[in-house]
Each structure stands twice: as C-alpha cells, then as structure tokens.
Amino acid sequence: MAEFLPIFKRDMAARGWEECDFICVTGDAYVDHPSFGVAIISRLLESLGYRVGVIPQPNWKNLTDITRLGKPRYGFFVTSGNIDSMVAHYTVAKRKRSDDEYTAGGKAGRRPDRAVIVYAKLIKEAYPDVPVIIGGLEASLRRFAHYDYWDDAVRPSILVDAGADLISYGMGEHQTEEIARRLSAGEDISEMRDIRGTCYLCRQFELPQDAVSCASFDKVASDKTAYARACKTQIDEQDHISGKAVIQKHGEVYLVQNRPSLPLTTSELDRIYALDYARTYHPEYEKLGGVPGIQEVEFSIAHNRGCFGACNFCSIAFHQGRYVTTRSEESVLEEAKLLTRLPGFKGYIHDIGGPTANFRQPSCKKQEKAGLCKGKKCLAPAPCPALEVDHTEYLELLRKVRELPKVKKVFIRSGIRYDYVIRDKDDRFLEELVEHHVSGQLKVAPEHCSARVLDMMGKPHISAYEEFQEKFYRATKRAGKEQYLVPYLMSSHPGSTLKDAVQLALFLKKNNIHPEQVQDFYPTPGTVSTCMFYTGLDPNTMKPVYVPRTSEEKMMQRVLLQYFKPQNRPHVIRALKAAGREDLIGKGPGCLVSAPYDPNAKYKAQAQEKPGQRENRNPKGRQTSRTGGKDAGRGKGGGRGGKDTGKQRGRRG
C-alpha cells in the first residue's frame, strides 16, 4: 500500500521537501481511503505531480497546528471532513454528541463547530496572501445564504463568513485540477472566475452577464417567501447541462455560483479510484484505538455517483447532482481483487454501492443532451413514463465480483431504490439480491406511509413499498431463507401531523414492524425539506406546509412509531389523545396501547350506570361481565406483548 502523505515536518524532511505545494486541511482524522473526500483530493494533486501535505484536525485555539507544515507554495484546500461539523457535534435535539466516528478513538471534541470557517480564518491569519479554497459537504451545502438550524437563523454564504477565496462545490476533482494548474502557472486566484463548480465574491460591475439572480441575503433573512423562491432557483440551476450561473447579493458584494462542474466520465472515475491510497487510517492513531469510520467502508466499493431519486430531505441532489455516472466493470473488479489482498480481509465485501446502489445508468437518454427535468422527479410520486429500468449491468457486475477467488459473500448495504426494482420486468435482480446479497436484513427507506407526507419528502407512495415487500418475502421464501426488510422511518418531517404519525403507527402494527430506531427530521443546510421547515412553504408550489416545531410534538410523533415499547406507553397515550384517537387505547385487536390502570374505575362505572342495571350485580357488587373486572384497563406493557424484542424486524414471508 502507499506511503501516507506528510502530516508533520519530519515527514516532509524524510522526503527531502522544504515546502509543500498544497496543504489539505480536514476536520476528520487522516484516513487515506477513497471514501474520504480529502484522500481523493490529496491523492489527485499528488498524481498531478504536486507535493501535498495533510493537516488533520488541527488545534483551532492557536496557530501552532495550522502552520506545522509551513507555508505552502500555492495554496490550501480546506474541508470540515466527510460530514457537516454541526451534524457531527449535535443531535437533532441539539444535544452535544459524545462520539465522533471520524476521530481517533471515536471521541468527540477534536474539531470546532463550523470547522470550515474556523480553519479558513486561522489560515488567513497565519498566511494572509496564500489562496484558500474551501470545499466538501459543509462548504458545498452552505454556499448560498442558508437557514442554520443550530442558530435558528439565516446565515450568509460560508464564503463570506470564512473569508476564503473560492468555494469548490459538489464533487471537486475537476475544479481542483484546474485551480492547481492555474495557480502553479502563476495566475492570481482573484482572476479565477470562470471555473465551473466554484463560487466567488465580486462587485456589481464584475457580475457575469448570463446569470440568474435570487433574492439577497438581507431579503431571505427577513422574508420567508423570498427564501423559498430563492431555494427553488438554486435547485433548478443545479444541472450540469441546463443550469446557469446564479448570483446572490450579500451587502456590498455578490456571491456568484458558476455553472455546475461536469460529472466525471467513466474513465475519469476509474482513474480516481485507481489512485495509490493507503486504504486505512494513519498509524499515528493506532495507539488511540484507530478511527471507527473506516470499519464500514474498508471492504466496500463505490461504483457510482449521483442519484436521480432526489429525495427532498437528502443533500445528494445539491452536492453530487442527479445525473448518475458509473465506474467501469474492470475498475470495480480491480478494486475487489485489491480488497482480497488487504490485511484483515475475511472473504466479505460489505457493499458495492453508492448514493443508490442499484443505479448504473441515467434514468433516461434525454438527460445526456437536455439535462434532468426542472421541477420534476424521475420516481416520485410515480415513475416518469420515460424512466428506463435495467439491472442487467449491475447484476453482471455483482456476479463477477462474487466469483472472484477469496470472495465468500458480496453484500449490498448502501441501500437500493425498491420503487426502481419493482419497475424491472425481469425479476432476476431481485431473485439474486435475495439469494446472494442480503445479510439477514435488507435496509430500505419507505420513510412514511402517509401520501401527503411522502409527497413532501419527494418519495413514492407506500403502495410501492407494499408491492416490493410482497415480492421480497415471496423470493425469500422460495430461496428457503429467513430474511427481513428493515425500513428506515422518519418522524416530524414537514407535512407530518400527529394524525399522520398515528397512521404510520397503524401501518407498522399491521405489518408487524418494530423499528429499533426512528430518525427525527434533521434540518441540514441545502435541502428542500429544510427550506420547508424554515419557511413553512413548499418551494416547488409555494403552498403552505404544516411543520411540527415543538419538542413536545416531535416527541409524540417519534414515540408513536415505537408504540410497542413499555417506556413509551404514557407518551403514546398522550399522543393518541392529542390526535383525537382515543379509540386506539385499550385491549381491542386494533388498539396500539392498553389503557392506564385506574383504581377508581369500578366506582366511576357504577356512577354512570342507568336505572335498572344495579339489579344485575351479584351480591358482592361485582359486574358479571369480564370487561368490568378489577384488571380492566390495567397496563401490562405496551403494544405487542409489552416487550421490545430489541430487533427491528419486518413481516416474515
């Protein structure tokens, strides 16, 4: 495997370097694996002949760490790491997390809040004249003025806050290569205003002529209707074929987003994944217990990029884009062979996937010339008539990988679009998925069952999940296996009322699904759903959207989806009463929870009796009906037998 890039001066000295050409700064621990963005960018620069250093998780309280490799010859590339630093630090309830899987030992606290801003400012303090390019998910999704859940306010573009020179948004290989080439040729970074996939700041007289404008930072910060309209403009222009440059005023300067970068071709993707990675974490972390984030991806392969599913709560459409590109079969097979030679390989490839595992082609041929349709989705609420469904190439790829020597099993864990699977007239993919690629449980994402909520999510209606569920369990039965679907579910998404949550709880009961975990909607920057959460408007229609906002309602929606847990019973009862569904409290077969025990129940019943009923009592005053006995209404656990099995299981076939 490759030698790690320098992270200390002594590493540079060992290579005979006096300075680096470029330095990459990241909020993650240094993991040299293609699942980590900083690894791709640093190895790409190295492959172009540049001397590259990496500063992982620098101490942000002084300049010591940020300057430990010295001043680079050309510039810094800065990222918060694989995820937004605020998401890494805080739960949806805004409580501080105690763990961080992208840090050595898994302990939180090694990166600052809003890491990109903090790192960029530190660099500019140390080296005011050195170019700083910010990128990765945190910078990419915050490139425009954006609602910030943790501040509960609209913040300006991260480029304004960070004081950096450029944003490289989306997948950054093309931008990085061009920026590096032009900097090394002596061009000033202030002149680089024509690079696709970048954002810069300028004065009004410097604005490009063919750009579309969205409402200013001041306007979107004070007017939610303007915010929603700006969101629609920004989403509409994210296509690499039809998208135009977008401008947004920030005080006396203007943010300019150039047109999106062209997606990498198959040969370019192959080249990226063939770079010389060490494929593990830096040995500096061994004494701290390693970096947990490597465990899920160490023996996994990414075969595609982009997702035309474009769920409203997902950032992929705004970051990677909706256009699907793939690696060649030969490239994937070569990586699979490499995995079999790695220390610790036990015969299992954990995933051959991506944003959506079973996409190996664009959704239709029209996209190659006209781009993806604005304001429409390929799969929701129903599949587009132009949708082309074909699993042939993906299926052949899976077959060839599982036939490799030393490979015992190939799993698919990154998720499939079941609504795409059921549109395939050929069931071979589903049959082989069940036979060879499920490790007992298959994770899928119906998210909800209410049509209204699913429309707000940009997801297909629940009938698609029910059709897939039936097909999956029939195929599982034919294969003689015991396998289950594990549905991802989301509570409190914009559009979801308590009645919708009750509807979902009843769906789960009907299908014998006990979700072990439920995800509250988390409003992260750059998504349509976050726009709905902040504005109360659907940016696509400008119609009002109901938004659950109070912690009380969010709690009630969440516990309804885990109504079967004994500890949730009093909260579920409160939620059902608030939803006007007290008919679901009791011992009947359709009830979600039993009624709370009332020691005065028999006296209340006697007080409500009609004349003549008392004569029917026995001498001791006890009702002869079993429904009125002393245990009537006593809670003996919630839901299914009052016991949480600890497993998330779907209905057996």
The binding site for [4Fe-4S] cluster consists of: 307, 311, 314
Residue 607: how many other CB atoms lie within 10 Å:
8
Quote the CA–CA distance of 180 and 50 in Å, as a whole number.
9
Cα separation of the two ends of the chain: 45
Please answer whether residues 86 and 113 qualify as being in contact, where contact means their C-beta atoms are separated by less than 8 angstroms: yes
The single-letter code of the amino acid at 296 is E
Quote the CA–CA distance of 538 and 229 in Å, as a whole number.
9
Q: Virtual CA dihedral for 525, 530, 531, 535, nearest 10 degrees?
A: -120
- Which residue numbers belong to the known binding site? 307, 311, 314
Which residue, among 82, 80, 77, 76, has the nearest Cα to 36 in the 3D structure? 82
Please answer whether residues 259 and 244 qualify as being in contact, where contact means their C-beta atoms are separated by less than 8 angstroms: yes
Can you say how many angstroms the Cα of residue 17 is from the centroid of all Cα atoms in its chain?
39
Quote the CA–CA distance of 231 and 533 in Å, as a whole number.
12
Report the helix count and the strand count for the chain, using DSSP H and E. Answer: 23, 20
Which residue, among 328, 200, 180, 173, has the nearest Cα to 262 in the 3D structure? 173
Please answer whether residues 485 and 472 qualify as being in contact, where contact means their C-beta atoms are separated by less than 8 angstroms: yes
Please answer whether residues 397 and 332 qualify as being in contact, where contact means their C-beta atoms are separated by less than 8 angstroms: yes
Please answer whether residues 200 and 250 qualify as being in contact, where contact means their C-beta atoms are separated by less than 8 angstroms: no
Q: For residue 84, what are the CA distances in angstroms to 13, 29, 115, 373, 492? A: 33, 14, 8, 29, 21
Q: For residue 548, what are the CA distances in angstroms to 86, 224, 431, 495, 497? A: 21, 17, 40, 8, 7
Q: For residue 168, what are the CA distances in angstroms to 33, 77, 171, 314, 453? A: 20, 9, 8, 20, 34
